């Protein structure tokens, strides 16, 4: 309630004041120049997300150095770049399959305009509003060409739209379809729609976290992928809200899309290079075996 809120009155601190604050809280700083560089280019606030792991009541644990914090920050940064490349493959595959399967099934590249394909008419209208807005904002040559050449339908075919819609927007369209149409997409992955749509939703969230430089290393995700799967259920860690279950989903889907991917080798190299304790990431002890043993069916 408003009467319980306070006025924000924290003043901005200079870089030298930020360094003094960190030192005063017990952070060991071997090279002030390195700390100064990261405070100038990353920001105290962004790094504070990582500082907190080494603190209690804002005081650093004994002998915590900035290098300890930096090691995890750099690992997290490299992990985001690794996952972004993989998520792009899955995003493109999902968009392509959704566009192709329903266009050919309905013999209509504008199937997304047909409210009879969707469970909820209000949600369908919301989707169309988003599509309209994205088309108006778009500077894509294909969208401009469509608008200049055709007057009906008012919106372009789905294969043009998937080029300008985000992963999350496409997943929202897919999830709002009636079950039979969701399954037309899901069956191309040899899965049921309840798993594919849940997994794609989770990966779209992960993709946004990666793209916006959000912490992954020990993050608790609010969304959890469906895990009670007859073939893959044993690889998930139930009730786990950390990254591991997302990586299980990633491995399942990559096995169907790009079975020769060597991302796990690169991931293990990152962990070893930066001396990461995966227990702090919520990984099970046998995490490597679990991921390596996933063989998509």
Cα–Cα distance, 117 to 180 (Å, whole number): 9
User: Are β-strands 59-60 and 55-56 bridged in parallel, bridged antiparallel, or unpaired?
Assistant: antiparallel
3-state secondary structure of 107: coil
Question: Could you write out the DSSP letters of every residue in 165-183?
Answer: S-HHHHHHHHHTB-HHHHH
Please give the DSSP secondary-structure letter assigned to residue 111. Answer: G
Residue 15: the pLDDT is 97
Cα–Cα distance, 277 to 264 (Å, whole number): 16
pLDDT tens for 236-292 read 999 889 999 999 999 999 999 999 999 999 999 999 999 999 998 989 999 999 999
Domain ranges of the chain: 13-64, 73-293
Side-chain-side CA neighbours of 53 within 13 Å: the count stands at 18
Q: What mean pLDDT is reported for the chain?
A: 95
3-state secondary structure of 56: strand
Cα–Cα distance, 250 to 40 (Å, whole number): 35
Query: How far is it between the farthest Cα atoms of the chain?
Result: 69
Cα–Cα distance, 107 to 111 (Å, whole number): 8
Cα–Cα distance, 112 to 99 (Å, whole number): 9
Instruction: Find the mean pLDDT for residues 98-124.
Output: 97
Instruction: Find the mean pLDDT for residues 137-161.
Output: 95
Residue 8: the pLDDT is 86
Q: Contact, 84 vs 160, CB < 8 A? A: no
Q: What confidence tier does 2 reach under pLDDT thresholds 50, 70, 90?
A: low
Polymer length of the chain: 297
Q: With a cut of 60, say whether residue 160 has pLDDT above it.
A: yes
Residue 296: the pLDDT is 75
pLDDT tens for 26-75 read 999 999 999 999 999 999 999 999 999 999 999 999 999 999 999 999 99
The dihedrals phi and psi of 146, each to the nearest 5 degrees, come to -60, -45
Please give the DSSP secondary-structure letter assigned to residue 30. Answer: S
Beta strands in 6-82 (DSSP E): 55-56, 59-60
Residue 143: the pLDDT is 95
3-state secondary structure of 297: coil
Instruction: Find the mean pLDDT for residues 99-120.
Output: 97
Q: What confidence tier does 6 reach under pLDDT thresholds 50, 70, 90?
A: confident
Q: Contact, 143 vs 82, CB < 8 A? A: no
Residue 28: the pLDDT is 98
């Amino acid at each position: 309630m408003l009467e319980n809120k306070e006025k924000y009155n924290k003043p901005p601190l200079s870089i030298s004041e930020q360094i003094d604050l960190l030192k005063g809280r017990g952070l060991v700083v071997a090279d002030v120049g390195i700390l100064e560089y990261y405070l100038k280019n990353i920001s105290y606030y962004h790094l504070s997300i990582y500082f907190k792991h080494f603190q209690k009541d804002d005081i650093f644990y004994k002998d915590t150095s900035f290098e300890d914090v930096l090691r995890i920050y750099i690992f997290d940064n490299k992990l985001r770049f690794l996952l972004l490349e993989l998520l792009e493959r899955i995003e493109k595959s999902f968009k392509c399959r959704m566009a192709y399967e329903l266009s050919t099934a309905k013999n209509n590249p504008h199937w997304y305009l047909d409210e009879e394909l969707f469970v909820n008419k209000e949600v369908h209208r919301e989707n169309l509003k988003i599509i309209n807005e994205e088309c108006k904002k778009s500077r894509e040559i294909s969208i401009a060409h469509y608008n200049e050449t055709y007057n009906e339908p008012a919106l372009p075919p789905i294969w043009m739209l998937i080029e300008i819609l985000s992963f999350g927007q496409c997943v929202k369209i897919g999830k709002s379809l009636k079950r039979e149409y969701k399954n037309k997409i899901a069956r191309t992955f040899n899965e049921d729609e309840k798993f594919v749509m849940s997994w794609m939703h989770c990966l779209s969230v992960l993709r946004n976290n990666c793209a916006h430089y959000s912490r992954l290393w020990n993050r608790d995700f609010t969304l959890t992928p469906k895990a009670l799967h007859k073939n893959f259920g044993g690889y998930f860690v139930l009730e786990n809200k950390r990254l591991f279950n997302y990586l299980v989903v990633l491995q399942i889907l990559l096995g169907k899309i790009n079975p020769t991917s060597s991302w796990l080798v690169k991931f293990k190299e990152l962990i070893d290079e930066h001396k990461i304790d995966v227990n702090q990431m919520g990984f099970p002890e046998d995490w490597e075996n679990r991921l390596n043993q996933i063989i998509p069916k």
